[in-house]
Structures are given as structure tokens and as C-alpha cells.
């Protein structure tokens, strides 16, 4: 009889211990589930409310799908045209939030090419670009104000010949989409004029040649991140 009571008591204690362990386990599970649920809610809220991040695009100079061109009147009788062969940069663009777009570019002034070697030497000299003293021109945008679905007003700072001035121009989106090599591209163009005297370039060939007209065509390749040293 005593042995039977001892066995019964041991069984009861074991069952009680098991029930206690089960209750503790359930509490731990409930606490963990609450923490997981809270974490999920917090992460979801962050993803929903976080601002959109614009995509990065490297200006495709390697593939020759971008250009910086210029023209200026020669004596008022014709146009002298040329380009800058060396430049680099990137832009950020999100079609759902175009107002957050950004463009940064650097141009090597020595790379001027007007298809005439003697004239190029002249234009690179002290009277004009003075490329030995001012080897780079630089543009950094500070606003991108949409006009319609494919155009915007772009403003920023242009540094040339040791002078930095604000400029404003209309920029147009040419198109965008997948390329045959598994990438994604966007293309833009803009055209504007600057007065050479505004940038400290005093020498000219008369009043008809005081303005330099620039035409810039940019095709960018989408990247996961951008090395900003490209524009430094």
C-alpha cells in the first residue's frame, strides 16, 4: 500500500512538473511571437513610410553613348563646332519622384576637339580656356523641377575657368528601359548658352562670338551604387 501511494505521488509530481514546463514554454513562445510580430510591424511601417531612393546611373562614356558638344559663331558668318572628349559623371533618377533627381559631371577642358589641331591649341591657351590653370569644368545640380512627364527645369552650379555661376536649363528625357546586355538605361538631353565673359574669358572675336552654345546628351547605365570620385 505504501509503495502504491509513493508511486502515485511521484506520478502526480511528474505530471505537475510537465504542466508547469508546458505553461512556461507557452509563455516564452507567446513573448517571442509578440516580439516577432512587433518587429514585423515596425519593419513594414519603415518600408511603407521610407522615402523612395532614386536609382543611380553612370554616364556611359565607355560605350560612347554620351557627348558634350559646343558651337560658337565665327565672326558672325558661320558656326565653329566641337566637343569635349573626356568627361565623367552620374545622375540619380526615379520616374516616380523625378524632383529628387541629381546630376554631377566633370569635363576635362584639355580634351577640347574642334577638328583642327592648331585652333585647338589656341582655344586651350591663356586667352580662352587656359587648361593648364583650369583643367576641369564641373556641374552639380541643386534642383530638378518637373514640367511634364519627360521634361524638367534643371538648375545647378557650373564651374568653368575658375568661376562658379548658377545656370538653369530645360532637360528632356529621351527614353529609358532594358538594354540587350541585361542592364537598364535612361537618356537625357539639354541645350543652353553661356556668356564667356561671365566666366572670366575676355578675349573674343566680336559681339557675335560672345555666347557659347552647349548641347549635352547623356545616356546612363543603372548601377547598384556610384563612386563619386568619378566627378572629382
Higher pLDDT, 204 or 73: 73
Same domain assignment for residues 30 and 108: no
* H or E element, residue 207: none
Contact 232, 106 (CB under 8 A): yes
Query: At CA 131, angle to CA 68 and CA 113, rounded to 5?
Result: 40
Number of domains forming the structure of the chain = 2
Same domain assignment for residues 151 and 36: no
Alpha carbon separation from 109 to 58, 69, 125, 157 (Å, rounded) = 20, 12, 11, 17
Same domain assignment for residues 123 and 189: yes
Domain span holding position 135: 55-231
Q: What count of other Cβ atoms lies within 10 Å of the Cβ of residue 230?
A: 16
Q: Where are the alpha helices (DSSP H) in the chain?
A: 2-49, 117-124
Write the pLDDT tens digit of every residue in 152-210: 999 999 999 999 999 999 999 999 999 999 999 999 999 999 999 999 998 877 888 89
Same domain assignment for residues 59 and 46: no
Write the pLDDT tens digit of every residue in 114-141: 999 999 999 999 999 999 999 999 999 9
Tell me the three state secondary structure of residue 138. Answer: strand
Same domain assignment for residues 8 and 106: no
Contact 92, 55 (CB under 8 A): yes
- Final residue belonging to a domain, choices 50, 72, 91: 50
CATH number of domain containing 111: 2.40.128.110
pTM: 0.75
Same domain assignment for residues 191 and 145: yes
Amino acid at each position: 500500500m505504501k509503495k502504491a501511494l509513493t508511486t502515485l505521488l511521484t506520478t502526480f509530481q511528474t505530471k505537475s512538473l510537465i504542466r508547469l514546463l508546458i505553461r512556461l514554454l507557452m509563455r516564452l513562445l507567446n513573448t517571442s511571437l509578440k516580439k516577432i510580430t512587433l518587429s514585423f510591424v515596425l519593419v513594414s511601417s519603415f518600408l511603407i513610410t521610407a522615402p523612395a531612393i532614386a536609382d543611380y546611373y553612370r554616364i556611359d562614356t565607355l560605350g560612347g553613348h554620351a557627348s558634350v558638344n559646343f558651337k560658337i559663331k565665327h565672326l558672325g558668318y558661320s558656326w565653329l563646332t566641337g566637343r569635349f572628349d573626356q568627361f565623367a559623371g552620374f545622375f540619380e533618377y526615379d520616374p516616380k519622384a523625378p524632383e529628387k533627381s541629381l546630376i554631377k559631371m566633370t569635363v576635362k577642358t584639355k580634351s577640347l576637339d574642334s577638328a583642327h589641331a592648331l585652333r585647338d591649341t589656341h582655344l586651350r591657351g591663356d586667352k580662352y580656356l587656359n587648361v593648364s590653370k583650369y583643367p576641369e569644368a564641373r556641374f552639380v545640380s541643386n534642383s530638378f523641377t518637373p514640367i511634364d512627364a519627360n521634361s524638367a527645369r534643371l538648375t545647378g552650379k557650373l564651374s568653368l575657368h575658375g568661376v562658379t555661376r548658377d545656370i538653369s536649363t530645360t532637360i528632356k528625357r529621351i527614353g529609358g528601359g532594358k538594354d540587350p546586355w541585361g542592364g537598364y538605361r535612361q537618356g537625357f538631353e539639354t541645350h543652353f548658352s553661356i556668356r564667356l565673359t561671365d566666366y572670366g574669358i575676355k578675349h573674343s572675336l566680336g559681339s557675335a562670338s560672345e555666347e557659347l552654345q552647349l548641347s549635352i546628351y547623356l545616356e546612363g547605365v543603372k548601377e547598384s551604387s556610384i563612386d563619386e570620385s568619378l566627378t572629382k
